[in-house]
């Protein structure tokens, strides 16, 4: 009985629900899709992914239902909705591709577009006989807008394909307008001015993204230019962040199409045609139609008009338009646009969030392995995912930490371009005189070297005298942050690291640390189960994070001291794996050098910076491009920074 009632309700109102759902999904994507440019939590990514998939499938399914529903005399107005569904299939300016692979499937989208456009044309053609003239004209106008916007989306997917970007750069050449842009900028290099500079070197960034072999044409004003390396570290970092934001635009939005002469023409035409359709619908005869259908029609046509207005305003106020004004020397319009953008803080949404993920071995291995949550995830086969998600965290990099990291990176880049791409700690070890003693630790397998240095870093930070000095606080935080960040990449984002994945090394090291902790450090009996704990507490634990920055600091320090104090006994009695023993050995060697190397913590920090640079430059470009849709990574900033510093002119001596 209940099923029959639901069926009747769906038969009567199903198409209305589908059409309104399609419209609401478009509003959601327009509003929230751009958030992932800066920061993308797992929940937001999931919701956006569902909305992205549902938007197309809902519109296509609704188009299929319209041909049936329109046979009812009372519901013949639903034919007017078909062009709006085609318009919805054209998507929003803020998102064309959810993932990088979507751009490669542009031919599939083209085929889908042809099928859906022909089907919609057939639906409209069948309803032409006896239709009100104004309503028919409004339907035709919206059909034209829908086809054009759908075609625009498909063309944007093609233009955003990496292979097409590469071909375009080879055809047009890579231009560098930095010098001319610098000469036209007055006052401080605030974020709006840096955005204009970012556009001037954007061809270099695109070339670096798709093919490093593309040669960059020198700037015509190199002789009297100010190169990128003459900027402060903050300006350099901001410029690189903005470059990555622009790369996100061309890979995942309609930016590659919008900011062209035909993109501007489409926007103006779509807005005026939608407005005309609204006025024609107002004038049409609506007698005999369902009041609900009339209301839905108004929602669709007014909603489409508002979305087009929003699209035009976003396009006019975008940094791409400001760059066009600057290149055409429309200085008065540019000043007005930039002033307005400063007032509304438009530039802030392009900045990197400044947070890096954290993962720590000692923190993970001092957990309670017998609690209910651990047992449940192990039974379900989700233990690895549980450990990656539950025991990771994020750290907002303070200004002091960011300065230490990026100043060290720029120092390496300015002194040795080769070190940025090829060294994994050798450059800083040679400078400190420790290369011959510690070379073995950086010549090891890449993933094993990360594990060795991660263990050693944790031990030195706890047991070293230099690391615990008050004046070393910022350096200690920066060293720990980089160590935990690169370990997170190894565990959760191995695609951002070079070389084959060595998951067995990580798992063996974790098992060894857990075993040692239970033998020598844990105050709880190993077989004590947590099934009798409070149910609410267990649920809370299941749905909260156990971040390395928020818990078990004492336990981690205790385990670090155990590892160092029992280094000889561990080799004979506990029989841990090779990687853990090498990590303890490295920590022992480093601590023995404290009296001879006054800046030992700086050396460890330098090794991690070189490891970061090496990872950034050796992982695939596709990996960097994919991470742009998830909020971006520190490695991507370092990677593009090394590319820009290497391509752009430097300040000449004496200038």
Q: How far apart are CA 364 and CA 374, in angstroms?
A: 12
Per-residue pLDDT of 320-339, as tens digits, reads 877 777 777 777 777 777 77
The pLDDT value given to residue 141: 96
d(CA 244, CA 68): 47
pLDDT tens sequence across 348-385:
677 788 899 999 999 999 887 777 777 777 788 788 88
Least confident of 2-16, 107-121, 243-257, 266-280: 2-16
Average pLDDT, the chain: 83
What is the model's pLDDT at position 561?
A: 92
Q: What is the pLDDT of residue 166?
A: 87
Rounded to an integer, what distance in angstroms lies between the CA atom of residue 310 and that of residue 221? Answer: 39
For the chain, percent of residues with pLDDT exceeding 90: 44
Q: CB atoms < 10 A from the CB of 87, how many?
A: 27
User: With 50 as the cut, is the pLDDT of residue 225 above it?
Assistant: no
pLDDT at residue 651 greater than cutoff 50: no
Residue 216 vs residues 176, 418, 426: alpha-carbon distances, Å? 8, 19, 30
Cα dihedral 166, 167, 172, 173, rounded to 10, equals 40
Buried b (16+ CB within 10 A) or exposed e, 571-581: eeeeebbebbb
Instruction: Answer whether residue 416 shows pLDDT above 50.
Output: yes
Q: In the prediction, which pLDDT does 530 show?
A: 45
Q: pTM for the complete prediction?
A: 0.89
Q: Measure the CA–CA gap between 253 and 275, rounded to whole angstroms.
A: 25
The domain spans of the chain are 15-165+262-320, 360-646
Q: What pLDDT, in 10s, does the model give residues 78-94?
A: 889 999 999 999 999 99
> What are the respective helix, strand and coil percentages of the chain, to the nearest 5?
75, 0, 25
User: What are 270-327's pLDDT values in tens digits?
Assistant: 999 999 999 999 998 877 788 888 999 999 999 999 999 999 988 887 888 777 777 7
Average pLDDT over residues 383-393: 85
Residue 419 has pLDDT above 60, yes or no: yes
Separation of alpha carbons 192 and 351, rounded Å: 11
The whole-number pLDDT of residue 345 equals 63
Phi-psi region of 547 (alpha: psi -120 to 50; beta: other; left: phi over 0): beta
Distance CA 429, CA 9 (A): 74
Question: Does pLDDT of 212 surpass 50?
Answer: yes
pLDDT of 135-194, one tens digit each? 999 999 999 999 999 999 999 999 999 989 888 887 776 665 555 555 555 555 667 778
Mean pLDDT of the region 401-410: 91
Which whole number is the average pLDDT over 406-417?
84
What size, in residues, is the chain? 655
The reported pLDDT for the residue numbered 168 is 83
**Mean pLDDT, residues 494-508:** 88
Asked whether the predicted pLDDT for residue 347 surpasses 80, the reply is: no
- Residue at token pair 């090779």: 578
The pLDDT score that the predictor gives to residue 532 is 47
Q: How confident is the model at residue 457 (pLDDT cuts 50, 70, 90)?
A: very high
Distance CA 274, CA 40 (A): 34
99 C-beta neighbours (distance < 10 Å), count:
15
Mean pLDDT computed over 385-414: 88
Q: What is the mean pLDDT of residues 399-413?
A: 90
What is the pLDDT at residue 316?
A: 82
């Amino acid at each position: 009985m209940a099923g029959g009632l639901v069926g009747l309700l769906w038969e009567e109102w199903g198409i209305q629900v589908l059409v309104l759902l399609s419209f609401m999904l478009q509003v959601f994507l327009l509003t929230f899709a751009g958030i992932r440019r800066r920061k993308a939590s797992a929940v937001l990514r999931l919701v956006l992914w569902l909305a992205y998939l549902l938007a197309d499938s809902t519109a296509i399914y609704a188009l299929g239902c319209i041909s049936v529903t329109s046979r009812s005399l009372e519901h013949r107005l639903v034919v007017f909705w078909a062009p709006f569904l085609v318009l919805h299939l054209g998507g929003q300016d803020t998102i064309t591709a959810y993932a990088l692979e979507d751009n490669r499937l542009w031919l599939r989208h083209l085929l889908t577009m042809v099928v859906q456009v022909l089907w919609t044309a057939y639906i409209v053609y069948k309803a032409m006989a006896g239709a009100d003239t104004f309503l028919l004209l409004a339907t035709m106008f919206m059909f034209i807008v829908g086809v054009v916007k759908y075609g625009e989306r498909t063309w944007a997917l093609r233009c955003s394909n990496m292979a097409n970007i590469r071909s375009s750069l080879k055809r047009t050449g890579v231009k560098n307008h930095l010098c001319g842009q610098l000469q036209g900028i007055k006052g401080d290099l605030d974020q709006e001015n840096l955005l204009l500079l970012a556009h001037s070197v954007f061809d270099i960034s695109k070339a670096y993204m798709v093919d490093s072999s593309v040669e960059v044409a020198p700037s015509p004003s190199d002789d009297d230019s100010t190169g990128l390396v003459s900027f402060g570290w903050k300006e350099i970092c901001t410029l690189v962040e903005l470059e990555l934001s622009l790369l996100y635009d061309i890979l995942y939005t309609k930016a590659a199409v919008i900011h062209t002469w035909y993109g501007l023409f489409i926007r103006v035409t779509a807005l005026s045609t939608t407005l005309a359709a609204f006025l024609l619908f107002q004038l049409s005869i609506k007698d005999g139609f369902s009041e609900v259908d009339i209301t839905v029609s108004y929602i669709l046509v007014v909603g489409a008009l508002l979305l087009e207005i929003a699209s035009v305003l976003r396009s006019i106020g975008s940094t791409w338009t400001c760059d066009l004004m600057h290149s055409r020397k429309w200085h008065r319009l540019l000043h007005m646009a930039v002033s307005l953008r400063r007032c509304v803080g438009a530039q802030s949404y392009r900045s990197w969030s400044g947070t890096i993920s954290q993962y720590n071995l000692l923190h993970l291995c001092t957990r309670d392995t017998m609690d209910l949550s651990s047992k449940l995830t192990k039974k379900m086969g989700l233990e690895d995912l549980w450990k990656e998600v539950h025991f990771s965290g994020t750290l907002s990099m303070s200004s002091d930490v960011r300065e230490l990291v990026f100043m060290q990176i720029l120092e390496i880049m300015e002194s040795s371009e080769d070190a940025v791409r090829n060294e994994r700690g050798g450059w800083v070890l040679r400078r400190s005189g420790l290369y011959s003693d510690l070379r073995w630790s950086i010549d090891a397998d890449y993933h094993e070297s990360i594990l060795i240095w991660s263990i050693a870093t944790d031990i030195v930070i706890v047991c070293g005298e230099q690391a615990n000095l008050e004046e070393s606080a910022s350096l200690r935080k920066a060293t720990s942050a980089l160590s935990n960040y690169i370990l997170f990449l190894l565990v959760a984002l191995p695609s951002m690291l070079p070389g084959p994945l060595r998951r067995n090394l990580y798992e063996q090291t974790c098992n060894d640390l857990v075993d040692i902790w239970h033998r020598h450090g844990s105050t709880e009996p190993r077989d004590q189960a947590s099934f009798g704990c409070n149910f609410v507490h267990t649920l809370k634990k299941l749905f909260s994070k156990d971040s390395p920055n928020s818990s078990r600091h004492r336990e981690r320090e205790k385990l670090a001291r155990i590892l160092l104090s029992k280094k000889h006994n561990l080799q004979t009695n506990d029989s841990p794996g090779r990687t853990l023993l090498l990590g303890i050995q490295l920590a022992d060697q480093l601590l023995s050098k404290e009296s001879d190397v006054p800046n030992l913590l700086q050396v460890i920090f330098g090794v991690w910076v070189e490891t970061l640079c090496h990872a950034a430059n050796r992982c695939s470009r596709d990996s960097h491009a994919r991470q742009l849709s998830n909020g971006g990574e520190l490695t991507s900033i370092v990677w593009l920074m090394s590319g820009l510093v290497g391509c752009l002119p430097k300040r000449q001596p004496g200038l």
